[in-house]
A and B are shown apart, each in its own frame.
Chain A
Amino acid sequence: MFDWLKEIINLLSTPSISFTLLAVIIPFVFPPTDWFEKWHRRLGLHHLWSIRGGWGLFGLITAFLVFGFFDENFGKILSKPDNVPIMMLIYFVFFFVWLSMHSAYANDARLARGEKVEEDYGPDEKVLVWPDLVYIELTALVLMTVFLIIWSVGLPAPLEEPANPSLSPNPAKAPWYFLGLQEMLVYFDPWLAGVIFPTFIIVGLMALPYIDDNPKASGYYSFANRRVSIFIFMFGFLALWIFLIVVGTFFRGPNWNFFGPFEEWSIAKVVPLTNVNLSEYVWVKLLRIGLPSHWLVRESVGIIMLLLYFGVIPVVLARGKLRGLVERLGPTSYALIIFLALAMVFLPIKMYLRWTINLKYIIAIPEAFFNI
């Protein structure tokens, strides 16, 4: 039943398609510019953040999961005790994004009407540490304990067999919170995906308060006042983190092959790995003269391209579109921001290069265990 629908969903879930769809949809949902804002309204996407829209989205997600639950293959994955946190993650991400956007839109409307934002309590109302804060915290603590007890009674710990060094499970999956990183490993060398990018994410998040000099919307929800920042964050958070975790959880099966949600996880599935380095594209496929023996010559094209990407683009932008930003922040902050932004965009770029031209590495120097 619904086989045609399952086929379509399987097809749409392919990382290249689903990521593209997500990347295209996000600017319409979190419009960073007036043009997107116009289409955001025209398409009625602002209704998503109404209460009815929230229930609608909730219903849609739930309907999909329930539908999936009754499928033999997807049901197996969904009902796996290990995946329960991911299901919660989907709902929590949805709920908190919705809540913040709902509040932000409400505040934006108030501000547009010249009223105060909702979080503005006024001088007469007081929130006390004792009893209010501590009491609420205690109640929350009790409720959380209840939740954990019920969870652990209802769903015993999903223990597996004793760890065996000579027998790794297939697929071998990282803990759910690391699945995004593991998914990045498909596209990047381990030291990039496992070390450099996580460092950039942490450093970038730590640097945010220093980079962000926008005094508006501090202490209250608002979208209109910081739509570009929110868009960038949402793209990074939803498309480059949550999406990758969901893909890693639900769509990666044996041998880390991609499987649509309704596809059977067959260990025998074969996907050709014919990835080619940029140097091979240039020297072998294009010029047909074989790889140069010295790595510097061999990788020169890749090195030049990366230098152009990280060296020239910031300068061009600083002189063009982002001139205002440079003037406002000064060159150091600008350089930091633009570097982090380019690094972030580098991930989807590399993903697309892999999907479109099977590009393995832009720079591949196995002699020094250095690949990008």
Chain B
Amino acid sequence: MDLKKEERYYQPDELHRWFGISSVLFLASIIIMFANDYIREWKGHQRAFREADVALTRANIESAAVDDAVKTELEAAVATAEAQLAADQSQLDELDSLKTVAEGEFYWANMNFMGTTADLDEARYLLEHGLTERHGEMEARKHFEEVTAKVKLFKLQSEGFQAEIDGYDAETTTLQARHKKASSEMNELLADLSVFERKLLLIDPEAMSMANRVANVMRDLPVLDFLAPSIKIQQIIVNDIRDDVNFAVVPKVDRCTSCHLGIDNTGFADAPQPYTTHPNLDLFIISASSHPMNEFGCTSCHAGRGRGTSFTSAGHMPADAEQAREWEEKYDWEPLAFWEEKMFPAQYSEAGCLKCHASEPTIRGAEKLTLGLTIMEKASCFGCHQIDRFDDWDRRGPNLALVSGKLTKEFAFKWIRNPRSFRHNTWMPAFFNQTNNSSAEDKRRTDTEIHAIVHYLFENSGDVQLPSTVRSGSVSRGQALFESVGCQGCHVIEPEPLAIETDLDRMFQRHGPNLIGMGSKATPEWVYTWIRDPQFYNPDSRMPNLRLTSREAADITAYLTGLTNDRFDGTAAPALNEDALADVAFKWLVKNASEVDAKSRVDEMDLNEQLLFVGKRSILHYGCFSCHNIPGFEDSKPIGTPLTLEGSKPTHNLDFGSVHEIEHTNYNWFEAKLTNPRIFDRDKVKPYDERLRMPNFNLSRTEVEAVTTALLGLAKSNVHADKMADGKMDDLIINRGMTIIKDYNCQGCHIINGQGGQIVDIIGDPNLSPPNLNTQGAKAKSDWLYKFFKSPTTIRPNLAVRMPTFPLADDQWNDIIRAFQFSAGATTTFETPHSSAGKTNSTFVGAYLASKDMGDCAKCHVMAGKNPTNARTDWAPDLALAKDRLRPEWIVDWLRDPQAIMPGTKMPQPFIPSKADVEFEGAEEYFPQAVIRMAGDDEALLESLRDYIYSVGEK
């Protein structure tokens, strides 16, 4: 079908040209496609890391270099051995050829043997068959016996040849022994080195053979790199921590290690990101840690998008604006769009701990998070905001049911209006004069509301029977008592703010209020009654009873009420504005009634009724009942947003209002809110009762950051129960008890699980301070502990500080005792009493070891009421108490090494004679026979000491 060119509408050349152009473009686009894949961010990191790894390995080889002298010596030995080996070569060769011959024979014999074994199986079957069928068994038996004999013959033959071979081998080994020993010593010396050298062979092209070098380049070439590249995505799949993708819950897949290549390698501690070593390998990443990365992944803790393989798509978030700018420049970073669970900025990384350590009151290693949770406990965030973690917690603020017996109305008004004007570091937050209610008009309203609240509280307050007078006390004695008896376990007296950053120890110290200005607040009668028996005034108070005598109480009262706040006393509460009161009442009423009705109802009320009405509405509005027990509000519901899953709340559900100067992320919102709870009302036009009303806790920067960390931690999680830190019954038991321990601030005085005991700083001498309670569960008998808690008795007569009586219920004491026991791994509740009765020999040896010449226990320990000889500061508990108090196994552990159990204790390790100590001429003169016999058996000697201790005070 030939057509002339002129006849065709489209000219072939023209079409060819277009086809040519498009083909070239197509090729170019394919190249671009592969190039685009080849230059992916993580591939670059892997190439760069490999170079760094090569450099590190070379450096390691360098530093692993061995002592030259030793090496030379070994080399010489190897050389000598080799020379000898060469000399023996002809002998070796002969042995080798003999062995070859023998092996041939063995092969033949063994083959015969194997073959006849199979025949034997057949012969056995035929025989059995003949016996069953009762036919031809004679013949079969004969055959069977023949084959058995053959097998035996071949077996003998093959064993003979085997023995011959073994003989040649043994001779060869003997000839080679020296060389083998020398070279294995050499290998041992170079073991570390060879690990690095082998590694270098794998990663360093210069160290590779030519073939490997070519393959090394080929496998990572574009296009070819789909086969078996060395540069490839690294991922960790964690099956029991899952990601919720809404329609499915899928195992966590973290590809972070595609770029963070040195994360588990200590050699990269100073390397630049992303190759840097994890800063805490003791706790994380490596398999020896409690959180190996293969079991936990990365985003389980850090959050972010685990599947992301570029800086932005992994969901990195900067710590501050400066880092953001740096990242934009360096990594072209932007916040990952369309991904809620972005990575926690570095300062909040502890937030991730909470999802697994959910019920732990103190999460060790996560100090910031624990501080945040502790602040939430202190500030009583859960009063207004429902948080699962705190669901059964009591109100934190003072009980106001008897407030008229404690405060004056004047004080209450000024306190509510500005708590910090009285106490600079109170946990009572400020509701008034905040950024959204400080106009003159607002103040007219809020002052009226405060008047009404005070009126309501005092009208509804019950009466408390206080003594009419209190005996006068001594201020100086009072101060001395205050500083010695243990008040400072929970209370401070700090007239001025200290420039100390809040941390956990500081929280223990500030468990109770800062007791400045008590004279301006309460009457001596009230203070006296309160410190003698806190539960008399407030049955719900967690303040313990120090069992003060009336004189001690009078002294402390004199001291505390002598502290006044003159500036606070000098200001006066404004008078009630009755017009404003009617206005406020009307504004509340008109919300549910017509204007006319509301007006007439206001007019119908007298002043008292108006005050009560507005007071009640205001208490309801501000949520005072969330922290305080107030009559009439016993069952009111929390007024705030539930926070149980606040960390998972979508950012767009957080109302930033017109605040645009901060990046819209949840943590920025939390920080802004905590710093100024009313900030998001800025530039808003709202009626008073619709404005934000979260009060201002005046949190410091550190505190805000800590609480934000905790809030971020309150998030949804998909962790399998087995992986939860509190997934086991034991953990739950410990956590339950530790929660009570924290709530009642036991750690204000005692070190428990390595934390607390800050009162030592005040007392000065650890030996005059409350005891360290490490191993307490293994140490004290549970029934003794219970009795002691219920009614503390003196154990250390030299201590001025007292164990107070706590208002705890039996189940709470049980929880505490169990927590001690489970923490120490000693979980028996009921035990057979240990007795030294009938162990006269053992007790005798123990008594000898404790005697004046040996351990001289009585130097420090009270012995059945008999005071020690040493100075009072060195006194130690009465040993007569031990049998009721201490568990026998623990005493042995304790005696073995006191410092291991209580670092810093003055208790010396007792003298336990060894065999050598008693094997000298005339030892019998120094040591009793029994001691000499037992010497060397440390365990028996320690037990004898224990048995002696158990006998102290026994008749």
Contacts and interface: CB of A to CB of B under 8 A. Distances in A.
A102 to B, nearest CB: 20
Nearest to A161: B338
Interface stretch (A137-145, A189-197, A344-352): A137-145
Interface stretch (A84-92, A127-135, A297-305): A127-135
Nearest to A143: B22
B15 A149 contact: no
A153 B25 contact: no
B911 interface: no
Interface stretch (B27-35, B251-259, B362-370, B494-502): B27-35
A164 B8 CA distance: 59
**Chain B interface size, under 10 / 10 to 19 / 20 to 34 / 35 or more:** 20 to 34
B926 interface: no
Nearest to B16: A135
Contacts of B688: none
A121 B9 contact: yes
Contacts of A268: 657
Nearest to B313: A156
A146 B33 CA distance: 10
A131 B3 contact: no
A162 B247 contact: yes
Nearest to A141: B22
Contacts of A162: 245-247
A260 to B, nearest CB: 19
Contacts of B650: 167
Contact of A161 (B15, B19, B247, B339): B339
A149 B18 CA distance: 19
B9 A126 contact: yes
A145 B25 CA distance: 10
B33 A149 contact: yes
A165 interface: yes
Interface in A146-180: 146, 149-150, 153, 159-165, 167, 170
Interface string B1-19: 0010001111010010011
Contact of B7 (A126, A159, A164): A126
A167 B652 CA distance: 10
B19 A139 contact: yes
A268 B26 CA distance: 48
A124 interface: yes
A162 B249 CA distance: 11
A136 interface: yes
A341 interface: no
A122 B874 CA distance: 124
Contact of B22 (A139, A164, A165): A139
A79 to B, nearest CB: 12
B481 to A, nearest CB: 60
Contacts of B15: 131-132, 135-136, 139
B72 interface: no
A313 interface: no
B29 A149 contact: yes
Interface string A85-129: 000000000000000000000000000000000000100111110
Nearest to A152: B33
B340 interface: yes
Contacts of A149: 29-30, 32-33
Contact of A160 (B19, B32, B338): B338
A222 to B, nearest CB: 21
Contacts of B32: 149-150, 153
A203 B29 CA distance: 42
B23 interface: yes
B340 A161 contact: yes
A146 B32 CA distance: 10
Contacts of A131: 12, 15
A267 interface: yes
Interface string B26-62: 1011101100100000000000000000000000000
> Which of B18, B22, B28 has most A Cβ within 10 Å?
B22
B682 to A, nearest CB: 13
A139 to B, nearest CB: 5
Interface in B338-362: 338-340
B19 A132 contact: no
B26 A146 contact: yes
Contacts of B12: 131
A268 B652 CA distance: 11
A138 B12 CA distance: 14
Contacts of B30: 149
A125 B338 contact: no
Interface in B797-826: none
A159 B338 contact: yes
A268 B949 CA distance: 77
A170 B652 contact: yes
Given A162-B246, A163-B246, A170-B652, A153 B36 contact: yes
Nearest to A153: B36
A163 B8 contact: no
Given A124-B7, A132-B10, A139-B18, A153 B33 contact: yes
Nearest to B30: A149
A142 B26 contact: yes
Contact of A125 (B8, B36, B337, B339): B8
Interface in B633-660: 650, 652, 657
Given A159-B338, A161-B340, A150 B29 contact: yes
Interface string B77-110: 0000000000000000000000000000000000
B8 A135 contact: no
Contacts of B657: 268
Nearest to B337: A160
Given A149-B29, A162-B245, A162-B246, A126 B22 contact: no
B19 A125 contact: no
B25 A143 contact: yes
Contacts of B340: 161
> Which of B28, B30, B338 has most A Cβ within 10 Å?
B338
Contacts of B26: 142, 145-146
A142 B245 CA distance: 38
A127 B3 CA distance: 11
Contact of B9 (A125, A160, A164, A167): A125
Contacts of A121: 9
A170 B32 CA distance: 36
A128 B9 CA distance: 9
Contact of A132 (B8, B23, B25, B36): B8
B640 to A, nearest CB: 22
B23 A164 contact: no
Pick the 4 closest A-B CB pairs, nearest first: A162-B245, A160-B338, A149-B29, A161-B338
25 contacts: A121-B9, A125-B7, A126-B3, A126-B7, A126-B9, A127-B8, A132-B8, A132-B9, A136-B15, A138-B19, A139-B18, A142-B22, A143-B25, A145-B26, A149-B30, A149-B33, A150-B29, A153-B29, A153-B33, A161-B339, A162-B245, A165-B246, A165-B247, A167-B650, A268-B657
Given A145-B26, A153-B32, A162-B246, 14 more contacts: A126-B7, A126-B8, A128-B3, A128-B8, A139-B18, A142-B25, A146-B29, A153-B29, A153-B33, A153-B36, A160-B337, A163-B247, A167-B650, A268-B657
